[in-house]
C-alpha cells in the first residue's frame, strides 16, 4: 500500500499551516500596533535626541527670568489635559484660551513657542507641542525645587480646540468638594490625585476676582490672612479684579508642602482649596494631614498624579499631527 498522503489530506494540511501562519502574522501585526500606540520616555531618542535638553534649557531660562513662570507652565499642562486630553489644544489661539478659567490668566504661550521654534530648527515636524508642554511642566516643577518624574512621550497635537469643553471640564475656583471629586474622577483621577494636584498651588498667583467672595463672605478663613489679602483685593466687583496674590503665602515661589499647612490654618486663598480641608466631610482631610507632615509623601503622590494626568486621552499616531507652530494648526 502507498504511504503518501492523499491529495485531500495534503490540501487540509496546507490550509492548516497557512491558517496558522496567517494567525501568527496577524498576532505580530496586532502586537506591533499595540506597541506603537504606547507612549515611551525614549520616543525621541533617535529622531530628535536633543529635544529634552532643549526644553529643559528653555524652561530654566524662562523661570530664572520670571519665577512665576514655573506655575504658569504647569497650569498650561493641567488646563490642556483636562480638556479633550493632553493634545496641546490649549495652545491654539482662540477657542480654549477664551474659556472662563483661561481668559486673561493663562500665560507662558510665548515660552512654549520659543522652545518649539528651537526644537524645529533641529528636528522639523518631529516633536509635538503636546510633548513639549508635558516636559516643560515637569522641568518647571524641578526648577523651583519640586520632584521630577519620567515623562512618557509620543503624544500628537490636535488641530481643534473647544471653548465649550473647557468651560465644562475645567475645575472652577468656586467649586465645592463633591463637584471637584466629580471633575477629577471624570479624568480617571482619584481623591489622592486630586489633593496632590491641588498642591500645585504651592506656587503661583491668583487674581482677585477668583478669591474676592472667599475674603468677604466665608467664615472658614483666618481673619488676619483675610485682612492682608483685602488690601489688594477690594470688595467692589470690577475694582482690582486682576490684582494678584500668592496661592501659598508662606513660600510662593518654592515647590514644597506649605500649601497644606496653610489649609490647616484656614489660609487657603481659593474656595476650592480650603474646602478640601474644612468642608470635605472626611473625604480628603486625612490626605492633607499626611502631606502637611511629610514632604516626601506629597512629592511622590504629586509625581504619580502628574504621570496619570499626562496620560489622559493622548492622540497617538495615526491620530493627530505635529504642529509646526504651537499656536496655530498647520
Q: Which residues are catalytic?
A: 79
Residues near 197 by beta carbon (within 8 Å), at least 6 away in sequence: 78, 184, 189, 302, 305, 306, 309
The C-alpha cell that represents 191 in the structure block: 481623591
- 89 annotated as belonging to a binding site for a ligand: yes
Q: Is 120 annotated as belonging to a binding site? A: no
Q: Is 286 annotated as a binding residue?
A: no
Tell me: is residue 87 an annotated ligand-binding position. yes
201 is in an annotated binding site: yes
Using the CB atoms, write b or e for 206-226: b if 16+ within 10 Å: bbbbbbbebbeebeebeeebb
Is 69 buried (19+), middle (13-18) or exposed (0-12) by CB count in 10 A?
buried
Strand partners of residue 157: 321
* Residue 241 labelled as part of a binding site: no
Least Cα distance to 165 among 236, 101, 104 occurs for 101
User: At which residue does the C-alpha cell 509635538 appear?
Assistant: 128
Cα–Cα distance for residue pair 136/109, rounded to 1 Å: 12
Is 163 labeled as ligand-binding?
A: no
The reply, when asked if residue 83 is annotated as ligand binding, is: yes
The reply to whether 171 sits in an annotated binding site is yes
Q: Which residues are annotated as a binding site?
A: 80, 83, 85, 87, 89, 96, 171, 201-202, 248, 251, 256
Residues at the binding site for substrate are: 171
- Which parts are annotated binding residues for heme b? 201
Amino acid at each position: 500500500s502507498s504511504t503518501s498522503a492523499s491529495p485531500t489530506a495534503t490540501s487540509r494540511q496546507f490550509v492548516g499551516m497557512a491558517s496558522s501562519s496567517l494567525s501568527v502574522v496577524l498576532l505580530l501585526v496586532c502586537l506591533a500596533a499595540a506597541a506603537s500606540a504606547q507612549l515611551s520616555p525614549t520616543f525621541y531618542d533617535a529622531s530628535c535626541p536633543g529635544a529634552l535638553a532643549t526644553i529643559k534649557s528653555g524652561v530654566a531660562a524662562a523661570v530664572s527670568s520670571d519665577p512665576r513662570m514655573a506655575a504658569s507652565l504647569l497650569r498650561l499642562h493641567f488646563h490642556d489635559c483636562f480638556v479633550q486630553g493632553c493634545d496641546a489644544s490649549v495652545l491654539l489661539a482662540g477657542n480654549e484660551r477664551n474659556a472662563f478659567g483661561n481668559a486673561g490668566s493663562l500665560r507662558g504661550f510665548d515660552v512654549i513657542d520659543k522652545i518649539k521654534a528651537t526644537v524645529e530648527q533641529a528636528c522639523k515636524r518631529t516633536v509635538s507641542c503636546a510633548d513639549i508642554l508635558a516636559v516643560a511642566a515637569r522641568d518647571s516643577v524641578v526648577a523651583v525645587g519640586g520632584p521630577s518624574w519620567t515623562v512618557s512621550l509620543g503624544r500628537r497635537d490636535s488641530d481643534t480646540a473647544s471653548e465649550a469643553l473647557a468651560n465644562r471640564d475645567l475645575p472652577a475656583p468656586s467649586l465645592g468638594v463633591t463637584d471637584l471629586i466629580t471633575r477629577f474622577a471624570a479624568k480617571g483621577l482619584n481623591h489622592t490625585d486630586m489633593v496632590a494636584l491641588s498642591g500645585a498651588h504651592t506656587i503661583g498667583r491668583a487674581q482677585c476676582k477668583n478669591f474676592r467672595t472667599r475674603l468677604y463672605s466665608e467664615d472658614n478663613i483666618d481673619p488676619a490672612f483675610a485682612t492682608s489679602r483685602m488690601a489688594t483685593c477690594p470688595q467692589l466687583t470690577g475694582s482690582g479684579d486682576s490684582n494678584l496674590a500668592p496661592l501659598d503665602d508662606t513660600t510662593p515661589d518654592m515647590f514644597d508642602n506649605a500649601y497644606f499647612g496653610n489649609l490647616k490654618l484656614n489660609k487657603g486663598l481659593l474656595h476650592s482649596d480650603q474646602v478640601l480641608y474644612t468642608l470635605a466631610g472626611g473625604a480628603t482631610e486625612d490626605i492633607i494631614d499626611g502631606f502637611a507632615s511629610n514632604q516626601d509623601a506629597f512629592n511622590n503622590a504629586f509625581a504619580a498624579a502628574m504621570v496619570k494626568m499626562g496620560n489622559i486621552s493622548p492622540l497617538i499616531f495615526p491620530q493627530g499631527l505635529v504642529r509646526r507652530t504651537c499656536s496655530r494648526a498647520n
